[in-house]
Amino acid sequence: MNKQIKTMISTTFAAMLMLGLVGCGQTDAEVPNQSEDIGIQQEKVTDAFAPKYSSDTEYKLSVAGTYSNFESLESTIDRFYDYYPNGEIEYKYLDDYRNTISLALAGQEPPDIYVIQPWMYGDEQFSSLFDGAEVLSATELEINLYCIRPSVKWEMDDGEIRTLPVFATSYGMLVNMDIFEKEGLEVPTTFAELKAVCEQLKAAGYESPVMGANTTTTPGIGYAFSYPMFAKTVKDDRSVEADLNNLVPAAGEAMRPSLTRLKELVDNGCIDVDKCTEEIEDDYNAVILRFFEGDVPMMLCSGDVVSGTKKRESQSEAFIKKPFKYEFYIAPSGDDGGYYMDSVSILFSANKNSANMDMTNEFMRFLTSEKELGLMAAEKRLITPTKDYSLDEVYASLSDFPEERTVNFRDIEILDTAVKQYRAAAYAVINGDMTVDEAVEKYGSIPTD
C-alpha cells in the first residue's frame, strides 16, 4: 500500500471520527438565544418534535374522517412511528360521516381523533364534536399552535382552541406557467392586468384564456372568480351580513360589485363560457384533465380541485406527454388585486374521552408543526394552515399575500343559504340568464337547484 492511499484512508477515518463526535454533540432541539422573542423561541423549541414518552410505548389510536383515502395522513402517521414504533394509528373512513360521527363518538369504538369541518359549527347535530374535543391550547399539552396562521386558527367563544386546522383551501385559478413563459407574460395580479394578458393570449391563439367549470358549485367559474370579492365586500361592511343571511332582497346590493366584475370578465372575452360548458363536464375531474391538456393559460377552481392535480398528472396522457409547470394564484378580480379567501378545509379534534388520551395528544402535538402540517398539505396538495407556504411550490404565490385583501373564514358569517344565492346569481349572470341588476334585485329568491 503506498503512502498516498494510507494517507487517504487515515484522513477518511479521521473525518468520520470527527463527524461522529460532532454528531454526538448535537441535541434534538436547538437552544434558543435569550435575546430572541419569547414567541419565536417557543416556536423554535416546539417545532422540533421531542417525544414526551418512551419510544416503546404501546398504543392504538384511530382517526375518523371523511376522506375514503387519506394517504397524506398515513404518511404523517408513518413519521410518527419513527418516534413511537410500537403502536398503531388507524384511519377510518366513516360512511355517511355527517350522520355517523356523532354516533361513533358515543359508540363502542369512539375515534381518538376526528375530522371537523367549519360548517359543522353551530349545528346542534355536531355539538358533541366540539363539546367532546380536547382543548388543544391547554398549556400542559405543549402543542405548538403558534405555527398556525392566525387567519385559520379557530378560537372558540371561550378563547380556547379545540380544533386544529389541517388543510386550508381557497378559490382562484391554476396557471399554466409554461404558457406565460412562452408568451413572455407575467401572471396578472389586477383585473386590468388580467384583461391585458387575456388580450395578448387571445392574440396568441388562446380562444379562452380563462376557463373553468360552468357550475353553481364552489369550484365553478362564478364562485371561484367573484365570491372572494363579494366576501371582501361583506367583510368591509358586516352590517349587511344579517340581511344577507336572512335573504333580504335589499341585501342583494352587496353582490353588485363582484357580479359586475364577473360580467366584465365574460364581456371582455377573457373567458368563453360556452366553450367551458362544452369542454368541462364537471367541477373536479374534468377541470383538472382539461387543464392538463396544456392549452389553458388560467383555469378557475377551488383549492379542493387543486388537491386532485397531483394524482391526475399520471392519468392525463397529454400531461405525461408534455408536462408543464403550474401554480395556484388568486384570481385578480379587484382593481388593486385579487382577494384571498383563506378558508379552512378540514380540522382535527382530539376526543377528550379517548381511551389513550396521552398518545392522542402526543400525536396532535407531533402533527402541529409547520413541517408536518406542511408536508401533509403538500402531499394532499391543499393549502397548509401554517405560515410557511414553501413546502408546496404550487401555493407559493400565497405567501405574503396582502392582509388587507385577505378574508378568512371567521371574518364573515354568511350562512349556506346566502352563499347558495350568490352562487346561483353568479351562474345566471355569466350564462346570460340574468343581468347583474336582475340578480341583485332577485336576491333571496334566485333559484338554487
Per CB under 8 A, contacts with another protein among 128-147 are 128
Closest CA to 353 of 144, 52, 56, 62: 62
Q: Binding segment for another protein among 48-56, 73-81, 166-174, 185-193 (CB under 8 A)?
A: 73-81
Closest CA to 214 of 305, 339, 301, 289: 301
Report how far residue 126's alpha carbon sits from residue 13's, in angstroms, rounded to the nearest whole number: 63
Check binding of 74 to another protein (CB under 8 A): yes
Mode of pairing for the β-strands spanning 171-176 and 298-302: antiparallel
Q: Which residue has the cell 408568451?
A: 183
Q: Is residue 418 classed as helix, strand or coil in its secondary structure?
A: helix
Q: Binding segment for another protein among 20-28, 48-56, 84-92, 368-376 (CB under 8 A)?
A: 84-92
Q: Binding segment for another protein among 88-96, 204-212, 241-249, 284-292 (CB under 8 A)?
A: 88-96
131 burial type by CB count under 10 A (0-12 exposed, 13-18 middle, 19+ buried): exposed
Query: CA 370, 223, 304: angle at the middle one, nearest 5?
Result: 35
Report how far residue 15's alpha carbon sits from residue 9's, in angstroms, rounded to the nearest whole number: 10
Q: Which of 108, 139, 186, 400 binds another protein (CB under 8 A)?
A: 108
Q: How many helices (H) and strands (E) does the chain have?
A: 19, 10
Report how far residue 375's alpha carbon sits from residue 369's, in angstroms, rounded to the nearest whole number: 10
Check binding of 378 to another protein (CB under 8 A): no
Per CB under 8 A, contacts with another protein among 51-70 are 64, 68-69
Output the CA–CA distances (angstroms, integers) from residue 377 to 194, 303, 318, in the order listed. 29, 11, 26
Check binding of 359 to another protein (CB under 8 A): no
Report how far residue 199's alpha carbon sits from residue 188's, in angstroms, rounded to the nearest whole number: 12
Nearer to another protein, 78 or 236 (CB): 78
Check binding of 127 to another protein (CB under 8 A): no
Q: Which of 36, 37, 71, 160 binds another protein (CB under 8 A)?
A: 71
Check binding of 96 to another protein (CB under 8 A): yes
Check binding of 240 to another protein (CB under 8 A): no
Check binding of 89 to another protein (CB under 8 A): yes
Q: How far is the CB of 133 from another protein (least distance, A)?
A: 16
Check binding of 100 to another protein (CB under 8 A): yes
Size of the site for another protein (CB under 8 A): 30
Q: How far is the CB of 383 from another protein (least distance, A)?
A: 23
Q: Which of 106, 138, 196, 250 binds another protein (CB under 8 A)?
A: 106
Check binding of 267 to another protein (CB under 8 A): no
Q: Which of 101, 298, 426, 436 binds another protein (CB under 8 A)?
A: 101
Query: CA 194, 275, 431: angle at the middle one, nearest 5?
Result: 80
Query: Which residues of this chain interact with another protein, rule CB under 8 A?
Result: 64, 68-69, 71, 74-75, 77-78, 81, 88-90, 92-96, 99-110, 128
